[in-house]
């Protein structure tokens, strides 16, 4: 802006060089996110859970309309993405879909709140909960923090950078790389299970287990605890 001002007023000015120093984003524990969700009021809790499950931007969330929500298939569509991102469709939990359906349908949009009102409301509740459970780390959790958390957890689970790129709606994979912070989560312990038939394997995959190897006639699966 100052460059345009200087040019219009014939002011000699050489822009300074600036190198952006990126910091590793704060990634909270899932237990901390869940504590925050449990302590917030209904609307803020639904918003936090929606971002936690999908990783969408809060601006995209505020643009959601009731026609974007499919309660029959438990999906929600981002048809008005921000920052030139790609539109996406997310599968959400049945619990979240039911929570969304409890909101009053007073207009076309699901969340009838301005950005300032939403942020102020959340900040007050976050401060109250952090004081109540004596955990100042909660004060570092923002709406965008949950987007960081979702991308980091999904990359830790899948190691698939293209999947994360699609999840976040990025058009450039360079942007996605900023979200893949490999960290040590609370536990690297696994539950194991054995499948001896195609039906057993199908049920384990649906339950979130991942394939490890085959021993004799059995297939070994595991899932992080």
In this structure, what CATH number is given to the domain that contains residue 68?
1.10.443.10
Residue 181: what pLDDT?
A: 56
Q: Among residues 27, 52, 54, 49, which one has the least CA distance to residue 39?
A: 49
Confirm whether 8 is domain-assigned. Answer: no
* pTM of the entire predicted model: 0.74
* pLDDT, tens digit (0-9, with 9 covering 90-100), for 41-60: 999 999 999 999 999 999 99
CA angle 114, 115, 117 (to 5 degrees): 65
Looking at the predicted structure, is the pLDDT value of residue 185 above 60?
no
Do residue 198 and residue 114 come from a single domain? no
- Number of domain units in the chain: 2
| Residue 92 forms part of a structural domain | yes
What is the distance between the alpha carbons of residues 164 and 148, in angstroms, rounded to a whole number?
Answer: 11
Residue 91, strand partner residues: 75
| Together in a domain, 59 and 138 | yes
22 within some domain = no
Q: How far apart are CA 204 and CA 130, in angstroms?
A: 38
pLDDT class for 225, splitting at 50, 70, 90?
A: low
Domain that holds residue 204: 190-224
pLDDT in tens, 3-55: 899 999 999 988 888 877 767 778 899 999 999 999 999 999 999 999 999 99
Decide which of 177, 199, 214 is a domain's last residue: 177
Q: In the predicted model, is pLDDT for residue 132 greater than 60?
A: yes
Residues 57 and 91 in one domain: yes
Instruction: Find, among 114, 99, 116, the residue nearest to 47 by Cα.
Output: 99
The two structure tokens encoding residue 201: 């394997």
Domain membership of residue 108 (yes or no) is yes
Q: Are residues 90 and 129 in the same domain?
A: yes
pLDDT at residue 28, as a whole number: 92
Q: What is the pLDDT of residue 85?
A: 85
Same domain assignment for residues 148 and 46: yes
């Amino acid at each position: 802006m100052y460059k345009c001002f200087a040019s219009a007023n014939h002011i000699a000015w050489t822009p300074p060089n600036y190198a952006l120093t990126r910091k590793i984003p704060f990634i909270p524990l899932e237990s901390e996110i869940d504590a925050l969700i449990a302590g917030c009021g209904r609307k803020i809790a639904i918003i936090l859970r929606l971002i936690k499950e999908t990783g969408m931007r809060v601006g995209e969330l505020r643009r959601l309309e009731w026609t974007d929500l499919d309660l029959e298939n438990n999906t929600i569509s981002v048809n008005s993405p921000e920052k030139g991102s790609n539109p996406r469709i997310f599968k959400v939990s049945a619990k979240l879909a039911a929570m969304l359906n409890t909101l009053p349908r007073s207009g076309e949009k699901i969340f009838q709140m301005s950005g300032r009102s939403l942020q102020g409301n959340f900040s007050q509740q976050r401060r109250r909960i952090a004081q109540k459970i004596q955990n100042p780390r909660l004060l570092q959790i923002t709406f965008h923090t949950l987007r960081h958390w979702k991308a980091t957890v999904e990359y830790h689970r899948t190691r698939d950078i293209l999947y994360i790129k699609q999840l976040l709606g990025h058009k450039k994979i360079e942007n996605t790389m900023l979200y893949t912070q490999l960290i040590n989560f609370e536990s690297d312990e696994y539950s194991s299970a054995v499948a001896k038939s195609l039906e057993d394997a199908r049920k384990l995959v649906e339950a979130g287990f991942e394939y490890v190897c085959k021993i004799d006639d059995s297939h070994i699966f595991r899932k992080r605890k």
